[in-house]
Structure 1
């Protein structure tokens, strides 16, 4: 399958997975994810997080330290292709309709980045939404030594190799309600 075909199939699988969960089951699973992440979050100086869209798993638990949490904030470039992490509450509407910190909030380089995804393989290859936003942001942060942990539902960890392109940035690990797997 090509990346677009895999992306479409995995999006549908993720939606179907969520439709099979009751609200209490989803809450329990997201709490389990937060428990898996707790040691990583506690040891990080600055955490790059995200607000979930659609069927993405929610990385923000009740114990999340908002004082050290940064969110993607797109620049004012006309195409909205570049984002940096800003330390601040996501209250401004960004170019993609997703809340983000304001332009006056400080730009930071998180040492731990929680990365949304559609699928991940055992090499840490991530299949994202297809816009390349995270690959561009992670490439900059990789040079600074940041760690990248993909987040998702258990069914998003696949047992075959995803197509890998030169611009793809590998994840250091994958966390789901089922556990934390480190790739490097």
Structure 2
């Protein structure tokens, strides 16, 4: 008798627990070193990008700030912004300065809205083909779909090494695949 594959919800729950345990096991210097390694791996691949969108990390997520803070001349960093919980995620220039509808920090509402050509996407779990499980709200899937209607947008998932699954992750028709994934030790081309 075949054993059923775990659902996305089950995979999310397990992966969140593993991410939490891993991130909380890191000393502050080791965490900073791993995030700096991630930046060293990603930054050379951003040459030519005009607007790079990151995110304000939750406690256990790997931070994109070392990448965003090291962008070159002529490159702009942006962060997600929400008018309300059910609104489309857009990106605005500026620092994470005021609470979003969920309490996570986002740029001020008066900050300039921009269309990124690269989006650094947080991951709960991803496989090597670019299938990703996030927190389950679909914000990145909707935002990437909308951005890609206007042209090419490179979606790079960033994660701790433990967040990469060697097994395929179930994907729904509306899930937007990642073009690449970066961890502190590996670049995975998913195209």
In the superposition, the TM-score normalised over structure 1's length comes to 0.93
* Partner in structure 2 of residue 118 of structure 1: 124
* Partner in structure 2 of residue 25 of structure 1: 30
Determine helix, strand or coil for the equivalent of 1:102: coil
Determine helix, strand or coil for the equivalent of 2:46: helix
Question: Are 1:153 and 2:160 counterparts?
Answer: yes
For structure 1, the 5+ residue unaligned runs are none
* Partner in structure 2 of residue 72 of structure 1: 80
| Displacement after TM superposition at 1:101 (Å) | 1.4
| Displacement after TM superposition at 1:41 (Å) | 3.1
* Partner in structure 2 of residue 134 of structure 1: 140
* Partner in structure 1 of residue 182 of structure 2: 175
User: Residues 20-56 of structure 1, C-alpha deviation per residue, up to 9 Å, x if partnerless?
Assistant: 3222211111110010111123321000110110210
Question: Are 1:164 and 2:171 counterparts?
Answer: yes
* Partner in structure 2 of residue 6 of structure 1: 11
List structure 1 runs of 4+ shifted beyond 3 angstroms: 64-67
CA distance in 1, matches of 2:23, 2:105: 23
Instruction: Go from structure 1 to structure 2 and tell me whether the alpha carbon gap of 1:65 and 1:102 turns closer, same or farther (over 3 Å shift).
Output: farther
CA distance in 1, matches of 2:107, 2:26: 31
Deviates more, 1:155-164 or 1:63-72: 63-72
Q: RMSD of aligned C-alpha atoms?
A: 1.6
| Displacement after TM superposition at 1:19 (Å) | 3.0
For structure 2, the 5+ residue unaligned runs are 1-5
Determine helix, strand or coil for the equivalent of 2:141: helix
| Displacement after TM superposition at 1:93 (Å) | 1.5
Determine helix, strand or coil for the equivalent of 2:129: coil
Deviates more, 1:41-50 or 1:107-116: 41-50
| Displacement after TM superposition at 1:64 (Å) | 4.1
Deviates more, 1:63-72 or 1:98-107: 63-72
* Partner in structure 2 of residue 94 of structure 1: 100
